[in-house]
Amino acid sequence: MGLLGEEEILEVRERLKEMPNPVKLIHFTQELNLEYGRETRLLLEELAALSDTLSLEVYNFLLDVEKVAEYGIDKIPATVVRNDKDYGIRFFGLPAGYEFSTLLDAILAVSKGDSGLAPETREKLRNIAEPLHLEVFVTPT
Amino acid sequence: MRLAHRFAMENDLIRADCIESTEFPELAGKYRVYAVPKTVINEAAAFEGALPEGYFLDGILSALGPGSGAEAVS
């Protein structure tokens, strides 16, 4: 029994058909002592299996130190959504419930390489000249 | 949350983390997360609530403050 239900699988597969370009999920985890580590990895594996354009790479948080540094990962489970480019999109924790749909949204936006934001928003964002770290805290619903 | 990730796509200087509060209670405690969504900006300023695009942007820009380069555009 997987984490995604049958109906959900059909829905997600349909949504992922909209993906024009490949997207990579880079996942950092560890085998032991991680409350939702196993579930998170399983969910991502089930998700990646639903589209040929979506792939999953899994790294060990303790052993793969170069990748951990490259992606700036300081806690796990962590998941990066990227294409050829790393846009700085990160998920920490199990993306379940509403956050699962947030993950799908990020995958589709990255696949299109288009944020979908209003022109004036994009202009203001592009003018930011200092590092900006946004941490958005959520809860499962 | 979706907005933060989309914002990150527009500028290499922006990184957007979606953090499951219940799995990272120490961090949530540090930032006094009592209601979600809560957005923390550069480990300092913060605001609560899911805001529309323009307000979310304004909340972030005002936290960055003058001299950020972002102010020059409005």
Sorted by where each starts, the structural domains of chain B and their CATH numbers stand as: 2-65 (3.40.30.10)
User: Which of the four pLDDT bands, split at 50, 70 and 90, describes residue A19?
Assistant: very high
* Whole-number Å distance between alpha carbons of A126 and A73: 24
Q: Residues B23, A43, B28, CA angle at the centre, nearest 5°?
A: 15
**In A51-104, at which residue ranges do the beta strands (DSSP E only) sit?**
54-60, 78-82, 89-92
Q: What is the pLDDT of residues A81-136, one digit of tens each?
A: 999 999 999 999 999 988 999 999 999 999 999 999 999 999 999 999 999 999 99
Classify domain A6-126 at the CATH topology level: Glutaredoxin (3.40.30)
B18 touching chain A per CB within 8 A: yes
Chain B residues within an 8 Å CB radius of A106: 2, 5
Asked if the ipTM is above 0.85, the reply is yes
User: Which of the four pLDDT bands, split at 50, 70 and 90, describes residue A140?
Assistant: confident
- A/B interface, count of CB pairs below 8 Å: 179
Domain map (residue ranges) of chain A = 6-126
A70 touching chain B per CB within 8 A: no
Determine the pLDDT at residue A52.
Answer: 97
Q: What is the pLDDT of residues B1-39, one digit of tens each?
A: 799 999 999 999 999 999 999 999 999 999 999 999 999
Q: What is the pLDDT of residues A34-58, one digit of tens each?
A: 889 999 999 999 999 999 999 999 9
Q: How far is A51 from chain B (nearest CA, A)?
A: 21
Q: Which of B5, B24, B41 is opposite residue A106, by nearest beta carbon?
A: B5
